[in-house]
Amino acid sequence: MAFDGFVTKAIVSELKDTILGAKVNKVLEPTQNEIVLSLYNNGNNYSLLLSANPEYCRINLTSHTKPNPQNAYNFCMLLRKYLIGGKIVSIETDDLERTVEIQFACYNDLNDLVIRTLYVEIMSRQSNIILTNESGIIIDTLRKVNSKRLVLPANPYTPASTNKRSFIKLEYFQDFNDIIQNRLKDGDSSLTKILVSKFIGFSKSLVSETLSTLHIIDTDFSDEDLKKLYNYLKRLIESIDKHDVFCKQVSEKDYILALNQRGSSPSNKLQINEFIDEFYYYKEEQALFLNSRNSLLRIVSSSLTKVYKKVENINSKLKECEKKETYRLYGELLTANLYKIDQTSNMESIELENYYDENKPITIPLDKTVTVQKNIEKYFKKYNKLKNALEIVTIQKRDAEKELNYIESIVFSLGNARSMYDINQIYDEIVVNLKVKKDKNNTPSKHKILSDKISLNHLVIDNFTIYVGKNNIQNDYISTKIAKANDIWFHTQQIHGSHVLLKNPNNIDIDDVPEEILYKCANLAKENSKGAESTNVSVDYCYAKYVKKPSGSKPGMVTYNNFKTMIIK
């Protein structure tokens, strides 16, 4: 876990210099795992985020706002009752533990000044936020139960127990060396494993990266290496209160606390908070984006499956309709030869000459339970039924193929989405066009689809402005709202993709536009389409005045004519 005891200590050190004495103005609970305290101190407003999210647990000042539920959660209401108006008088963490203790001076119902304490336990799945009264009795908690201990109201608060040693309390290198050597005798050969399992607040990423920085081999180290490591860690802890440390990102998903490079000036007093805020905000946004996109993909895939089944049934009916001419032929041949047929015989079939096929013999099945005349009527009835069905089913197939084409365009848009803004637009689109029920309590939508608020991707090449749509809503807006008659419109031929618009304010003739500009626009259309990885893609382009949106058509669906085609390799 990245948010280890070292990072916790650094965060608390910065908070002491920033929000000690701050007044609590608001308490918010954006999600069931997060509390945000809105604070005021020395003329500045701050937002302190307390997160018990199993994956993103932390405490830090944040500059990012999150939407809040219409109805506040119970724990949020309780914190508002007990903390609003109170002042922060103490922010502490014990040793390198990942528990932060925040004390508030508040007035109780009798207008007596009391101290209430908020404990923020940053322990992955066991993370919690606990409020206690002046006697240390739990008032309430964010979570009542975890896998290791019960934390219930009306009981004394007791910190989570640990059998790990304190590195801070080690006064001499020999004490550190003795612990390591004893673990080596017990069979542990990995220095990383020993430090993480034996000492409070050490994370695997911190130890591994520190060993790498100090050029110490994890399973082959000397006493001199251990001394070098001991001195570095002691220096790191001493530098925390001087704000002479920084968060070093070691991978996309991990970071550690490290010493500033020699000779560099001390960093600003909120550097660790700012790093943590941006790092986790990006991770949460990415997770939210992926989860929302996957949720929409499941919804769209369900609709796609239904349409596929509908098309399959329609094709089955069309295949049945192919028999109509056979039934008509049977009826006509039986009618033409009715005078020859013995009406009294119970035949299961009859062989007649097919005058439509050079009088070749043809066997016609008969229902022996009824007369030949009734068989004729049945064949013509089947013919007429299939003839009428063919007209209906043909229309149904055309509509189903349009629907299929539209849903596939949504799948492409989801694959092309890059932000929650894009996801929200697609979500609002499918709510309207795929008859998806909008979930008021758990919806990714934060933006209304209003043409004057649509954010478009555009770029300027050689003084030409080019717009590129990312989804059907943006494609519609580009083609019907932004486009003027002599602007030039691009789209891949018979492939789902973005609408690309080349603005042409000077009404240059399409043949006089520099070929390089036309090629770049066509290439943008290709790169933002399902044919992006193809070797040869045909891109159509024409004046925007030749692009029409049929009445009642789905978002992003247009027709166009008088176009030219360019092959993009």
Q: What is the DSSP string of 402-440?
A: HHHHHHHHHHHHHHH--SHHHHHHHHHHHHHHS-PPP-S
Task: Identify the pLDDT of residue 3.
Answer: 92
pLDDT of residue 441: 45
Q: What are phi and psi of 89, to 5 degrees?
A: -110, -15
- The token pair at 80 is 């508002």
Strand partners, 256: 248
DSSP 345: S
26 strand-pairing partners? 38
Burial of residue 312 (number of CB atoms within 10 Å: 0-12, 13-18, 19+): exposed
Q: What is the pLDDT of residues 426-475, one digit of tens each?
A: 998 888 888 776 655 444 444 344 434 577 878 998 889 999 998 999 99
Which pLDDT value is given to residue 444? Answer: 46
- CA-CA distance, 117 to 62, in Å (whole number)? 21
pTM of the predicted model, to two decimals? 0.76
Within 22-73, residue ranges assigned H as helices are none
Q: Is the distance from CB of 429 to CB of 445 less than 8 angstroms?
A: no
Question: Can you identify the CATH homologous superfamily of domain 5-141?
Answer: ibrinogen binding protein from staphylococcus aureus domain (2.30.310.10)
Assign 3-class secondary structure to 466-494.
EEECCCHHHHHHHHHHHCCCCCEEEEECC
DSSP string, 347-394: -SEEEEEETTTTTEEEEEE--TTS-HHHHHHHHHHHHHHHHHHHHHHH
Angle between helices 271-321 and 420-433 (to 10 degrees): 30
Cα–Cα nearest to 558, from 422, 394, 398, 409: 409
Give phi and psi for 152, each to the nearest 5.
-120, 150
Please say whether the beta carbons of 445 and 424 come within 8 A.
yes
The angle, 0 to 180 degrees and rounded to 10, between the axes of the packed helices 271-321 and 5-19 is 110
| Intervals of the chain under pLDDT 70 | 1, 146-147, 262-268, 344-345, 437-453
| Cβ atoms within 10 Å of 537's Cβ, excluding its own | 23
How far is the C-alpha of 56 from the C-alpha of 63, rounded, in Å? 16
Query: Cα-flanking dihedrals φ and ψ of residue 449, to 5°?
Result: -85, 90
8-state DSSP, 12: H
Distances (CA, A) of 380 to 324, 339, 355, 357: 9, 18, 18, 20
Residue at 187: amino acid letter: G
Q: Which DSSP letter does residue 84 get?
A: T
Q: What is the dihedral of CA 368, 371, 376, 380, to 10 degrees?
A: -80
Quick one: tokens of 256?
A: 């550690």
Query: Residue 191's beta-bridge partner residues?
Result: none
Q: Beta strand pairing status for 254-259 and 245-251? A: antiparallel
- Mean pLDDT (the chain, rounded): 90
Q: Cβ(337)–Cβ(362) under 8 Å?
A: no
The type of residue at 499 is H
423, 292 contact by CB (below 8 A): yes
| 8 A C-beta contact, residue 557 and residue 399 | no
Residues 383, 384, 386, CA angle at the centre, nearest 5°? 65
Q: Which two tokens stand for residue 249?
A: 């990102």
Check residue 268 and give its pLDDT. Answer: 67
